[in-house]
């Protein structure tokens, strides 16, 4: 399990724009660099990030070799109803991680 | 009017003379400064999070809440270890404390624990202990700081005392105050200890770097802490 940080408000008014910021620990190895032994290090990237708000996809991003290690992704969504946000990062070497956060809408 | 201006200038120059020391933070771009200030953006907090989990698993049973038991601890290191009769750095202490196999230097586990402990002293002034047993080590550290080394034949002092604030290639030469370690370096895309930074500097002047945990590094860290005494700790810092 990689370390991940999600920063967002716990509560919001209906119709508010909620800012969500995510940070995950990942090397984002490009597949082009040589290691200390001179051999090319195999590619190890997060390829896709998605956020589902009560099973509705509200944000997704494709990530590429130019993205730095420990990618930071910030986006916003509209607070519609109280529910759960599910964040998923998937990538090379079968990498997959899911985090959840709940949002209470008044 | 002239007198007032002259008086103000006098006061201003006096204030600068009182503490002309600058943390590397002051020389960064506003964007990187903002990255360090905001814990939601600072990648160092990923290591802190891991360190907090380690604290809960391994340390809390004896040391309780780190916010009280570890407050100000990072600001006092390196300090004298009575068991081995030598000064130790914070990393050395944490790596070996109550472990049969010490944590490897520069390992993720050690950097995580160290950054979590260092975070508990954020905002506190660096307070090197006034222990007479440390004095000879500190003096050797200062000699090391002023000793020329490597193919380029540079000492630390030649850049960081004599030419601080000027530029080396594209970047500003900092005054080399260890205010934010362990710190996240964007260049390395990783958390790094002060000793990794020092080894990188030694590579830069084409000297053979000391090994991690070498006594020379402890002495140098002692001198650097004295040189930065009173400056605020800002770990986990972000540096370009």
Q: What is the pLDDT of residue B133?
A: 96
Architecture of domain A4-29+45-105: Sandwich (2.60)
pLDDT tens-digit map of B212-224: 999 999 999 999 9
The dihedral through the CA atoms of A30, A31, A32, A38 has a sign that is positive
What single-letter DSSP state applies at residue B58? Answer: I
Give the span between the Cα atoms of A103 and B45, in whole angstroms. Answer: 23
**Which domains, from first to last, does chain B contain?**
23-239 (1.10.760.10)
Q: Name residues 72-91 of chain A within 8 A of B (Cβ).
A: 72
Neighbours of B232 (CB within 10 A): 16
* Burial classification of residue B4, based on how many CB atoms lie within 10 Å of its CB (0-12 exposed, 13-18 middle, 19 or more buried): exposed
Give the span between the Cα atoms of B145 and B212, in whole angstroms. Answer: 17
Among A21, A25, A68, the residue with its CB nearest the CB of B40 is A21
- In sequence order, the 6+-apart residues with CB closer than 8 A to the CB of B50 are A3, B108, B109, B112, B116
pLDDT tens-digit map of A29-44: 999 999 889 999 999 9
> Which pTM was predicted?
0.89
pLDDT band, residue B18 (cuts 50/70/90): low
CB contact under 8 A, A23 and B46: yes
Measured between CB atoms, does A25 come within 8 Å of chain B?
yes
The interface predicted TM-score (ipTM) is 0.90
Average pLDDT estimate for B107-135: 96
pLDDT band, residue B4 (cuts 50/70/90): low
| Per-residue CA distances from B101 to A70, B58, B91, B108 (Å) | 29, 14, 14, 15
Among A56, A101, A100, A48, smallest CA distance to A78 is for A56
């Amino acid at each position: 399990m990689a370390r991940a940080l999600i920063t967002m408000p716990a509560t919001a008014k209906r119709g508010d724009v909620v800012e969500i910021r995510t940070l995950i620990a990942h090397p984002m190895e490009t597949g082009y660099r040589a290691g200390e032994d001179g051999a090319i290090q195999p590619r190890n990237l997060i390829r896709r990030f998605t956020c589902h708000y009560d099973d509705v996809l509200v944000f997704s991003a494709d990530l590429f070799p130019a993205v730095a290690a420990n990618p930071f992704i910030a986006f916003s969504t509209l607070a519609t109803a109280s529910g759960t946000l599910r964040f998923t990062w998937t990538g090379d070497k079968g990498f997959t991680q899911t985090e959840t956060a709940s949002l209470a809408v008044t | 009017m002239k007198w007032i201006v002259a008086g103000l200038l006098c006061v201003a120059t006096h204030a600068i003379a009182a503490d002309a020391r600058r943390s590397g933070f002051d020389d960064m771009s506003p964007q990187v400064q903002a990255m360090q200030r905001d814990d939601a953006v600072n990648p160092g907090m990923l290591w802190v999070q891991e360190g907090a989990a380690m604290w809960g698993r391994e340390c809390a049973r004896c040391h309780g809440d780190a916010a009280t038991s570890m407050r100000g601890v990072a600001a006092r290191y390196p300090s004298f270890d009575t068991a081995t009769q030598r000064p130790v750095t914070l990393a050395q202490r944490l790596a070996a404390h109550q472990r049969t196999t010490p944590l490897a230097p520069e390992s993720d586990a050690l950097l995580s624990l160290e950054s979590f402990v260092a975070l508990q002293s954020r905002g506190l002034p660096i307070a090197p202990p006034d222990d007479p047993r440390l004095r000879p080590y500190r003096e050797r550290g200062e000699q090391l700081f002023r000793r020329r080394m490597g193919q380029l034949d540079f000492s630390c002092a030649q850049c960081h005392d004599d030419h601080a604030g000027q530029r080396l290639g594209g970047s500003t030469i900092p005054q080399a105050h260890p205010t934010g370690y362990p710190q996240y370096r964007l260049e390395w895309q990783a958390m790094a200890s002060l000793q990794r930074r020092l080894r990188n500097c030694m590579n830069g002047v084409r000297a053979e770097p000391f090994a991690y945990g070498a006594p020379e590094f402890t002495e140098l860290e002692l001198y650097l802490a004295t040189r930065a005494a009173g400056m605020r700790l800002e770990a986990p810092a972000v540096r370009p």
